[in-house]
């Protein structure tokens, strides 16, 4: 690794920005450690959801997203992040080692991308169809790139089949007490650091207008405008050729890129993982994509209704809980 040291405040700011990345139920299953000139990303196993994410696949996706956010944050500070994934074969929770190289002048595009991070949020309300979709679609494909991650758009005529897969998922979990206990624990109980706050939940009427959303505990939002009626979002699927830790990790990186590209275009997004948590619904989504690949995530994209009062940003853990400083490699 190069011995180029990055100012501590730059690292703090970049990690804090990166931790705005999405994660399952806002569980934030990541931990950053500095050692010498390097920065290391670890999976925090204590924050893997034992019922919804038994294999830890979604936690790896979340950590991939936080890694890509970190690269964006460092770029806007003038540093290129050089990433080695899974650097320690004896510790697979060590997801990435990073060192940094000075870049040229920061571009306006890099600044806009970093500015998009705090503006991105998961919107669970129904959407209108995305504006200028034909212009946005190639940008999303370009954001994913020619990697092991594939992006597919679900055709409108296949939307009922996707809704069927969503209903199947909920039906199969109807009597899963551990799943519902976990879901209730992570929703509505936290306002300062973890989980999904009540302000981000939907009322029963709002939930009924979204045909492919996860069923969360309902909240009282009768005062909000009706919005766009039944959901008219465009639905994307991210898939990978295999189903390894590395595939999930890289899918999270692609997720970050797609969400930020949508945010830059003024579109709202809602990432859906419940459809790929059970094999039956996952198989149905694979059929809909028409691709011999494994679905990892579903994303709704569209125009969100304008609310009289924008809900507060979903909370994040304090930086002291997710970032540890070691002064040197032997620390």
Closest C-alpha among 141, 313, 298 to residue 213: 298
Residue 186 falls inside a structural domain? yes
Residue 204 falls inside a structural domain? yes
The pLDDT-based confidence of 1 (bands split at 50, 70, 90) is very low
d(CA 149, CA 144): 7
pLDDT of residue 77: 96
Residue 294 falls inside a structural domain? yes
pLDDT of residue 229: 86
Q: Identify whether residues 290 and 204 lie together within a single domain.
A: yes
Q: Identify whether residues 289 and 212 lie together within a single domain.
A: yes
Q: Is the pLDDT of residue 10 over 90?
A: yes
Residue 309 falls inside a structural domain? no
pLDDT of residue 144: 95
Residue 266: Cβ within 10 Å count: 13
Q: Identify whether residues 165 and 62 lie together within a single domain.
A: no
pLDDT of residue 198: 83
d(CA 331, CA 38): 12
Inter-residue contact 231 to 300 (CB < 8 Å): yes
Q: pLDDT per residue over 247-296, tens digit each?
A: 999 999 999 999 999 999 999 999 999 999 999 999 999 999 999 999 99
Residue 149 falls inside a structural domain? yes
Residue 115 falls inside a structural domain? yes
Q: Identify whether residues 152 and 270 lie together within a single domain.
A: yes
Q: pLDDT per residue over 113-164, tens digit each?
A: 999 999 999 999 999 999 999 999 999 999 998 778 999 999 999 999 999 9
Q: pLDDT per residue over 26-67, tens digit each?
A: 999 999 999 888 999 999 999 999 999 999 999 999 999 999
CATH number of the domain bearing residue 255: 3.40.109.10
pLDDT of residue 305: 86
Inter-residue contact 27 to 185 (CB < 8 Å): no
pLDDT of residue 225: 59
Q: Identify whether residues 282 and 137 lie together within a single domain.
A: yes
Residue 308 falls inside a structural domain? no
Q: Identify whether residues 190 and 66 lie together within a single domain.
A: no
Q: Identify whether residues 147 and 286 lie together within a single domain.
A: yes
pLDDT of residue 222: 55
Q: Identify whether residues 321 and 222 lie together within a single domain.
A: no
Residue 1 falls inside a structural domain? no
Q: Where are the alpha helices (DSSP H) in 150-303?
A: 159-172, 177-186, 204-208, 245-264, 279-289
Q: pLDDT per residue over 299-322, tens digit each?
A: 999 999 887 777 788 999 999 999
Inter-residue contact 90 to 282 (CB < 8 Å): no
pLDDT of residue 227: 61
User: Bigger pLDDT: 174 or 306?
Assistant: 174
Q: What percent of the chain has pLDDT over 70?
A: 93
Domain total of the chain: 2
Residue 303: Cβ within 10 Å count: 17
d(CA 76, CA 18): 12
Q: Identify whether residues 62 and 177 lie together within a single domain.
A: no
Q: Identify whether residues 111 and 198 lie together within a single domain.
A: no
Q: Identify whether residues 224 and 289 lie together within a single domain.
A: yes
DSSP 53-73: TTTSHHHHHHHHHHHHHHHHH
Retrieve residue 154's tokens: 């679900």
d(CA 320, CA 151): 36
Instruction: List all residues 6 or more positions away from 37 whose beta carbon is below 8 Å from its beta carbon.
Output: 1, 2, 3, 4, 5, 6, 99, 100
Q: Where are the alpha helices (DSSP H) in 77-158?
A: 108-119, 133-144
Q: Look up the domain containing 53 and give its range.
A: 8-119+317-326
pLDDT of residue 2: 52
Q: What is the CA radius of gyration of the chain?
A: 19
Task: Determine phi and psi for 260, rounding to 5 degrees.
Answer: -70, -35
Q: Identify whether residues 27 and 173 lie together within a single domain.
A: no
CA end-to-end span of the chain, whole Å? 17
d(CA 211, CA 12): 40
């Amino acid at each position: 690794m190069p011995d180029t040291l990055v100012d501590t405040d730059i690292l703090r700011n970049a990690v804090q920005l990166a931790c705005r990345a999405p994660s399952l139920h806002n569980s934030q299953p990541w931990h950053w450690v500095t050692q010498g000139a390097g920065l290391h990303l670890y999976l925090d196993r204590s924050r893997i959801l034992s019922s919804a994410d038994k294999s830890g696949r979604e936690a790896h996706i979340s950590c991939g997203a936080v890694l890509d956010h970190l690269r964006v944050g460092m770029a806007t500070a003038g540093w290129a992040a050089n990433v080695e994934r899974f650097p320690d074969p004896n510790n697979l929770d060590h997801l990435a080692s990073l060192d940094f190289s000075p870049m040229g002048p920061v571009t306006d595009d890099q600044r806009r991308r970093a500015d998009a991070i705090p503006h991105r949020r998961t919107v669970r309300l129904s959407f209108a169809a995305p504006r200028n979709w034909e212009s946005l679609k190639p940008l999303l494909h370009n954001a994913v790139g020619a990697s092991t991650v594939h992006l597919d758009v679900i055709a409108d005529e296949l939307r009922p089949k996707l809704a069927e897969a969503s209903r199947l998922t909920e039906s199969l979990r109807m009597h899963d007490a551990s799943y519902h206990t976990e879901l209730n624990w992570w929703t509505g109980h936290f306002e300062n650091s973890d989980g999904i706050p009540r302000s981000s939940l939907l009322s029963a009427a709002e939930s009924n207008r979204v045909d492919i959303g996860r069923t969360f505990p309902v909240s009282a939002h009768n005062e909000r405008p009706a919005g766009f009626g039944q959901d008219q979002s465009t639905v994307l699927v991210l898939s990978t050729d295999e189903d390894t830790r590395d595939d999930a990790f890289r899918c999270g990186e692609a997720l970050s890129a797609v969400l930020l590209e949508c945010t830059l275009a003024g579109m709202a997004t809602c990432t859906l993982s419940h459809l790929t948590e059970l094999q039956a619904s996952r198989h149905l989504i694979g059929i809909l994509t028409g691709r011999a690949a494994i679905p990892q995530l579903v994303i709704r994209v569209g125009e969100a209704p304008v609310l009289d009062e924008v809900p507060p940003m979903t909370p994040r853990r304090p930086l002291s809980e997710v970032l540890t400083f070691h002064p040197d490699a032997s620390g």
